[in-house]
Structure 1
Amino acid sequence: MDFYNQSLCYAENGSKNVALAYAHRSACFFHMEKYEEALIDIQLAKNANVSEDQLTEMDQRKSECEKLIVKKPLENLPKLSYEADTNFPSIANVLELKNSPEFGRYFVAKCDIPCGKIVLAEESFIGVRKDNPWMYCSECLQMNTNLIPCQSCATTVFCSNKCMAKNTAHKWECGTNFNLFDCEIKFQGQAIFLAIDTFGSIDQLMEFIESILCDVEKQPMSLLDSKSKYHFFFNLSKSLLHADDILLVYKIYIDLMKIPKIAALFDSKEKQRFLAHLVAHHFLVILNNAHGNNSYQSVGAIFSMFNHSCTPNVMQFFDGKQHLVTIRPVKKGDQLFISYLGKQKHSLEQRQEICKSKWNFICNCERCNSVGEIVDHNTITSDVHYIFVLENGYTEDQSSEVLDHCEKFLNNYAHLPWSDEIQFVIDIYCAHLSRNNLNQLL
């Protein structure tokens, strides 16, 4: 797949190599049992005038795909479990944004929310994959899809013409090697490109930044346009700038100024100083708000508003959008928490050290301060739903039943203080959700 994607990028536009790459990539999809994607590539190969000797092979593969394909209904795509908020369309209307000196900006429930509800479905404001750039869409970060190459460079691919048209930032880096840089530098580049693209000129960008710095308390009332989204991103909480960061910020600035289109825009000392300071600001915002795993990193304007707890009541999934799903029942007025620590197990000391060193706070959740009522372990372990999950949680053939029993158990017991039993069921629940791509929730 990787090599055929690269072949598409390096093939001369309109040449027979384009059709050849699509034809062979359809075979990859076929062997991966992704028959819908194979059919799309077969059609792309035909549109690119695949040779007569391969046309028969394409028709045979098309016939086999049509026999094996299982149509997925559109309603099974992950979506919010409630109506979207009017001003913040990526969150469910059962959430409310609050602000306090202790928590900053955060979300609370406007009503009781049971386990298993999708309360956020947000496109990343900026995001990058750490994998090979020829394996994912540069806009939505989806992998193993029908990627099509940028027509002007050999390092960027998109999953559709829609994503290609939507990605306005790429034009600034197109034809350069910026997309091949490491994750941190690509992150910074995306933020700067989006900032430039959002405003009509560098002068307007500078004027906008000066205005929001003069009124740091002012927040956008909605996220319905590109300027509000950038304003929201710019005002996200920031890490402290350490001495070691200054050299990296300077390196990012130098790499950006090597891009001809960027150098032409920042053509004075005043504008160059502004760019350097803007890079530093973005650097600190990203450092404090980026989330992901070994494959991707992203920053979402709304997603970044959720605070951390070692006993989270929502968990995240990423499939081109960032989703949050309730894994514990949430009472009206309760704050919604995610975990910043990922799936790896940590001791109390390790959790406190990571939170302090990376985000500059001490976690005071119930798990860390050991405050709460005593858990009746015998009642929990004798629960029929717990027993079913214990006996069947590691099998794939009963995944829907496991999810159902997990939800019933969590709705009954996950409001209690954190325990090994609750942690176990949540781990199983999350594993099956990931395997099912959230479809079982809908």
Structure 2
Amino acid sequence: MQEFNNCLRKAEIGSDEIGLAYANRSACFFKMGMLQECLMDIEMAKKFNYPSHLMHALNARVSKCKRLLDEGQINANLCKVREPVLSFNEHEEYPGVADCLEIRQNDKFGRHIITTCDLQIGQTILVEEPFSIARDSRVDCDRCLGCFKYAQNFIACNNCVGRCLHCNEDCMTNSFHHIVCNSLIAEEYEEKIELIVKTIFSAIVAFSDIDRLMHTVELLLDGKGTSDLTNAHLILHFVHVVVNQVSLNEYVKLETGSRMDFGFFLPYAHGMYPFGCYMNHSCLPNVCSMSVDNRLICKVIRPIKKGQQIFRSYLNPSNLNYINPLTDRKLDVEKQLHMKCECNLCSGDAWTMLHDKSLKQSPFWKDATAAANMTEKAFRALSNETKEYYENRTIKFLEMYDRFHPLNDTLCVQWALIVMWNVLATHF
């Protein structure tokens, strides 16, 4: 499918190649069981000069799709996705934020997030849409560059050289693509500048007039409050946009047939999240960041007491699978994040817990690591009840032995849970 998307991007406008790309992509949708998407691509192929002598193949595929739809087999080959939902009521002021989270400020941490109640592993405390978002420069054509959904009926922009792909015209317009279309930006700065430009235009749209926008920025820079919290917080983030941007990552299998815990994470976008950006970094986070399309999801990965601060890792989630030596990790944090981490691990307070105590004798160990030892295909084939069983046993293990964290065993199980959550949140 990626190759046919690439064909759409590179095909000459008005050529038969566009119709052929849509037709061939429709075959991919049919194979995946995405029958409605298959029919939509067939219509696009007919619209864009699909060769008449090949039309019989498309008509036969249409008949098969309609027959399967009549039999109720829509999306039959797709795994069911666990749609992210808050475990609490939504905050009155901040969309997509649990009402147990609050912003606090002090001299040591600046603005930060605390919880007003005890939080348990597995609870979802953030499902936030971005204020602005830009693709990672390494992303080719697997996702819409507006909503960042995967495997859609993408259309290509007819104006830019790269023929950027979007779900539809509305998605293209809402993503401010026309602002950065054909922009001459050096590749190494492209994603950062694109994010800044989109943030500026999003801010202009969010405020009723430029005077109000400027007044809000002046208040924030002076350290004063403002009643327009969501927009105001975002403007303050814009002042430090490179540091505060959040990377969205997707789980990638190492190779077909490999165990799930052998996978890794690759960034596909970077966004500005008004609330999520306020979570401070820790190399021993108590929440893990996930992404579904363009949304930032935060789930509790360690028990958190009322009044404690919420920490997430700014580094790639793959770093949570192991602990680098202290010196190497500090250098990585300073180089990638332009900051010094003062978490318990980096300050040395947690190193006394890194001994050889093995938890593999635990009655929960086998179940807690069972899913990670499966292939992704085998895990997806399990019943929902079995998936939930392994998830609950993994959470129970982490709750029981949190006082020993970080050990190789607890890190291993924590990684298994993170991978499990990411697989459950995607079709593929």
> Normalised by the shorter chain, which TM-score bucket?
0.7 to 0.9
Give the CA deviation at 1:409: 1.7
Is contact 1:366-1:417 (8 Å) kept?
A: no
Amino acid of the residue matched to residue 383 of structure 1? S
Is the Cα contact below 8 Å between 1:23 and 1:41 reproduced in 2?
yes
Equivalent residue in structure 2 for 1:387, among 366, 374, 387: 366
The yes-or-no answer on 1:419 pairing with 2:407 is yes
* Number of residue-to-residue matches in the alignment: 385
Deviations 1:225-257 (A, max 9, x none): xxx53x423313xxxxxxxxxxxxxxxxxxxxx
Measured at CA, do residues 93 and 161 of structure 1 come closer, stay the same or move farther in structure 2, by a change above 3 Å? Answer: farther
Query: Paired residue for 2:136?
Result: 129
Maintained 8 Å contact 1:195/1:205: no
Report what 2:384 is aligned to.
none
Q: For the structure 1 residues 368 and 382, does the alpha-carbon distance in structure 2 shift closer, same or farther, using more than 3 Å as the test? A: farther
Paired AA for residue 325 in structure 2: S
The answer to whether the 8 A contact 1:158-1:164 is kept is yes
- Residue 361 (structure 1) aligned to one of 340, 343, 346: 340
Once residues 144 and 163 of structure 1 are traced to their aligned partners in structure 2, the CA distance between those partners, rounded to angstroms, is 15
Q: TM-score, normalised by structure 2?
A: 0.75
Alignment partner, residue 102 of structure 1: 108
- In structure 1, which of residues 370, 381, 389 is the aligned counterpart of residue 349 of structure 2? 370
- Within 2, Cα distance between the matches of 1:181 and 1:108? 39
| Cα offset, 1:89, TM superposition | 0.6
In the alignment, what sits opposite 2:255?
none
| Alignment equivalent of 1:83, drawn from 79, 89, 107 | 89
Task: Give runs of aligned pairs for residues 38-187 of structure 1, distance below 5 A.
Answer: 38-46=38-46, 50=50, 52-62=52-62, 64=64, 66=68, 69-70=75-76, 76-124=82-130, 125-154=132-161, 155-167=163-175, 169-174=176-181, 176-178=182-184, 181-182=186-187, 184-187=189-192
Q: Which residue of 1 aligns with 2:326?
A: 348
Assess if the C-alpha contact under 8 Å between 1:133 and 1:156 holds in 2.
no
Q: Is the 8 A contact 2:156 2:165 kept in 1?
A: yes
2:41/2:153 contact within 8 Å kept: yes
- 1:188 paired with 2:160, answer no
Give how far 1:373 is off. 9.1
Q: 1:39 to 1:304 in 2, by over 3 A?
A: same
Alignment deviations for residues 178-216 of structure 1 (CA, whole Å, 9 cap, x no partner): 4x752523431342244246438xxx6488346523542
Moved more, 208-217 or 115-124: 208-217
Equivalent-residue separation in structure 1 for 2:268 and 2:123 (angstroms): 24
Q: Distance in 1 between matches of 2:244 and 2:213?
A: 23
Superposed CA offset, 1:298-348 (max 9, x none): 132222111112221111112221211111222222211111232234222
The partner residue of 1:291 within 236, 247, 268 is 247
Aligned residues of 2:32 and 2:77 also touching (Cα < 8 A)? no
Give, as a single letter, the amino acid of the residue that structure 2 aligns with 1:298.
H
1:115 to 1:44, Cα distance in 2 relative to 1, 3 A: farther
Kindly provide the CA deviation profile for residues 258-312 of structure 1, in whole angstroms up to 9, marking residues without a partner as x: xxxxxxxxxxxxxxxxxxxxxxx75x52145443564334132222111112221
Name the CA distance, whole Å, in 2 between partners of 1:118 and 1:183: 34
- d(CA) in 2 for partners of 1:206 and 1:190? 23
Distance 1:210 1:185 in 2: 29
Is 1:306 aligned to 2:279, yes or no? Answer: yes
Question: CA 1:325–1:44 in structure 2 vs 1: closer, same or farther (change >3 Å)?
Answer: farther
Letter in 2 for 1:322: L
User: What runs of 5+ residues in structure 1 fail to find an aligned partner?
Assistant: 237-280
Deviations 1:149-170 (A, max 9, x none): 2344452221234422322x22
Contact in 1 for aligned 2:36/2:74 (Cα 8 Å): no
What whole-Å deviation, never above 9, does each CA across 1:78-116 have from its counterpart, x for those lacking one? 232322212111212222221121112221222222211
Q: 2-side partners of 1:75 and 1:68: how far apart?
A: 15
Structure 1 residue 52 displacement after superposition? 4.8
Residue aligning to 2:310: 336
- Assess, with a 3 A threshold, how the Cα gap between structure 1 residues 192 and 19 changes in structure 2: closer, same or farther: same
TM-score for the superposition, normalised by structure 1:
0.73
